[in-house]
Each structure stands twice: as C-alpha cells, then as structure tokens.
Amino acid sequence: MAGMIPVEKDVARFGALFAAAATTTPQPQPCSATSVIVAGMGGSGIAGRLAQALAERCGGLRVSAWSDYGLPAWADGSEHVFAVSYSGNTAETLSGAERAIELGTNWEAITTGGRLAALAHEHSAPVTAVEPGHQPRAALPLLLVPLLRRLTLSGIEAQVAEATEVLAEPAGDAGAIAAQLNGKLPFIYGAGGLATVAYRWRCQIEENAKQLAVHHALPELDHNEIVGWAAPPGNAVIVALREPDEPARVAARWEASRAVAWRDVPVVECRAHGKNPLARWLSLVQLGDAVSVELAHLNGVEPTPVVVIEELKRRLEE
C-alpha cells in the first residue's frame, strides 16, 4: 500500500504503538453481552484470536474469533459482534457485518474507514476509528487495545497497564534468533495462549520474510504431529514459545516431547516476560515481529510488500 509506514519501522516501535493506544483510546462502557464474536482476517484477525485466548485464560465472557465469510451458523443475534478490519474493505469481514445486520444483532466496527465504516454509519452501529497509515499486520496494538476495552475480561485494565511497561523494554535478540531460522523451516509451538502467538509468528515470518513456517499447539501436537517427527525435514528447527512459570504438567510435556521427538532437531526456546497473560503473550508477539523483519533482511527481501496477496485480491475482484 503506497504511502504507508514500512513494516520494519512499526515493528521497531511496537511498544510505543501499544502505549499510544493505551493512552489515547478511551475506556468506554464494556459491552453487556456475555458472548461476543470478533470477525477479522489476517493482521486484523489476530486481535480477535488474542481476545479469545485471554477470555479462555482469564474468564469474564465468551469470545469467539471468526476468520471466514459471514458468521458461524450458531450465531442467533444474541451475541455482540465486533467487525475488525484495519482497511475497512476486507470482503470476509464486511460479509460478517452484513450477516450481523440480517440477524438484528448488536455490532460495531474497529477500522480506519472504508466500506466497513460506511456500513456502520448507515446502520447506526458504533465505529472506533483507528489511526491510518500503517500496514494492517503492523497495526495490531492499535486494533487490540480498543477491542479489549470493550470486553468484560477479568482484570483487563491492569493487564493493559503491565503490557505497556513490558513492551517498553527491548524485544530481545531478534537477530540471533533470525540467524537460527535462516534457510530453515520453522515449526513454532506454544501452549495455551502462546499457541495463538505461535500463529502470529508463522504469519509474520510468511508475510515479512517471505518464508514458509508451521505452527501447532501443545499438548494437541503430541497427539498427532509428533509422529511426523520420525522423519523430519532436513532443514527443520523448533521454536518453543514458553511462559516463565508453566504448570508442571506443561513443562513436563515440553521436556518429554523434546526427548521423544526432537533429539536431533535444533530447538530455539523463547521465554515470555511479565506476570499477566497479556503482557507475556505480547512480549513474544513483539519478539516474533522483530525476528520476522531480521529474517527478511537475511533472506534479502523487503518486509513490507505482499505482492502475492495483492495479486490474489486483484484476481478476485475481476
């Protein structure tokens, strides 16, 4: 997208973007629904995935992230729908908003504008305006904070405050990690909410570094994918995203998995920082974003352009 801030610049100030969003985003009355759907794709959709993981960890309400056309078939109008699209022109998210209108459900938009904002204004749905000028995948802090402040998640304001402090610190040695992933096929794993962060790592490596990656969740991977490690790719490397005080059974599963399946495979461990889930997970999001940019440099590619996605959109519009 011409005229937008390059990805690497926004990645370098991920913490500053989050702090700015935490400072400038108002603290509105949380929505009263006990069940919400967050519709969004790609870089916008990750906000919903993180919100769902937080709800599963902290409680307060039920959050369902939705990355597809329309809304799930079980949606009956009793839910509150958040349509999250940085550009405001994401076809799938627009169709979700249209389905919410058909159902007569309460819904609102988080966007910079586009057709989504126009649709919301037409139907008197609230719109949270987000700062324009960023690549959607680099705008996560700007989308996530207003979403979280509309949800009745337990202790969310304290979590936002701690995340602001943690993200003010350097992301870690992204260059050294990128060097270990250069020329490799990364298998990125995380347990609980860090499975969502593993997905973010995969997406950022693929979009920014133009390099394939794989992700999965512990313990689920121990019931299927672990068998595939009997014959691993020669260029495989494990990226293990871990929390500092994991439950004993999770730590034991990491060690057992490594002993059984990854004896001859390099394993890069990355530990989260902070006390609360949001801070911890975003500390590793911040690190993963930085790794993807360093890996782009090692691969000799520009992080910002996503030519394949733009060509796909062009073909779909024909």
CATH number, domain of 289, equals 3.40.50.10490
| 13: confidence class by pLDDT, cuts 50, 70, 90 | very high
DSSP letter (8 states) at residue 221:
G
DSSP letter (8 states) at residue 36:
E
Residue at which a domain ends, from 164, 198, 224: 164
Whether the CB-CB separation of 37 and 72 falls below 8 Å is answered with yes
Residues 141 and 230 in one domain: no
Q: How many domains does the chain have?
A: 2
Residues 156 and 199 in one domain: no
- Catalytic residue among 122, 223, 255, 317, which? 223
Which structural domain range is residue 11 located in? 7-164
- Catalytic residue among 121, 123, 275, 313, which? 313
Residues 244 and 178 in one domain: yes
State residue 317's pLDDT score.
85
Residues 191 and 158 in one domain: no
Q: Express each pLDDT in 41-62 by its tens digit.
A: 999 999 999 999 999 999 999 9
Return the higher-pLDDT residue of 276 and 316. 276
Residues 160 and 192 in one domain: no
H-helix or E-strand containing 188? strand 185-191
Evaluate if residue 1 carries a pLDDT over 60: no
Residue 317 located in a structural domain: no
Residue 123 located in a structural domain: yes
Residue 307 located in a structural domain: no
Pairwise CA distance, residues 82 & 278, whole Å: 20
Q: CA 186, 189, 194: angle at the middle one, nearest 5?
A: 130
Residues 140 and 205 in one domain: no
Task: Determine the distance from the C-alpha atom of residue 257 to the mean position of all C-alpha atoms in its chain, rounded to a whole number.
Answer: 26
Evaluate if residue 117 carries a pLDDT over 60: yes
Residues 148 and 217 in one domain: no
Q: CA 223, 237, 284: angle at the middle one, nearest 5?
A: 85
Residues 35 and 151 in one domain: yes
Residues 198 and 259 in one domain: yes
State residue 171's pLDDT score.
87
| Size of the chain, expressed as the number of residues it contains | 318
State residue 6's pLDDT score.
97
- Token duo for residue 173: 């040695």
Residue 309 located in a structural domain: no
| Rounded (10°) CA dihedral 207, 208, 214, 215 | -90
Q: Express each pLDDT in 194-224 by its tens digit.
A: 999 999 999 999 999 999 999 999 999 999 9
Coil, strand or helix at 314:
helix
Q: Express each pLDDT in 219-269 by its tens digit.
A: 999 999 999 999 999 999 999 999 999 999 999 999 999 999 999 999 999
Is residue 294 annotated as a catalytic residue, yes or no?
no
Kindly report the pTM of this predicted structure: 0.96
Residue 310 located in a structural domain: no
Is residue 207 annotated as a catalytic residue, yes or no?
yes
Residue 314 located in a structural domain: no
Whether the CB-CB separation of 172 and 291 falls below 8 Å is answered with no
- Catalytic residue among 207, 243, 246, 294, which? 207
Pairwise CA distance, residues 141 & 180, whole Å: 27
Residue at which a domain ends, from 164, 196, 221: 164
Residues 133 and 160 in one domain: yes
Residue at which a domain ends, from 164, 194, 212: 164
Residue 313 located in a structural domain: no
Residue 72 located in a structural domain: yes
The stretch 275-300 carries a mean pLDDT of: 98
* C-alpha separations of 306 from 13, 68, 86, 174, 220 in Å: 21, 20, 16, 22, 31
Residues 205 and 134 in one domain: no
Is residue 223 annotated as a catalytic residue, yes or no?
yes
Residues 115 and 200 in one domain: no
Tokens 């967050």 correspond to what residue? 38
Pairwise CA distance, residues 19 & 288, whole Å: 19
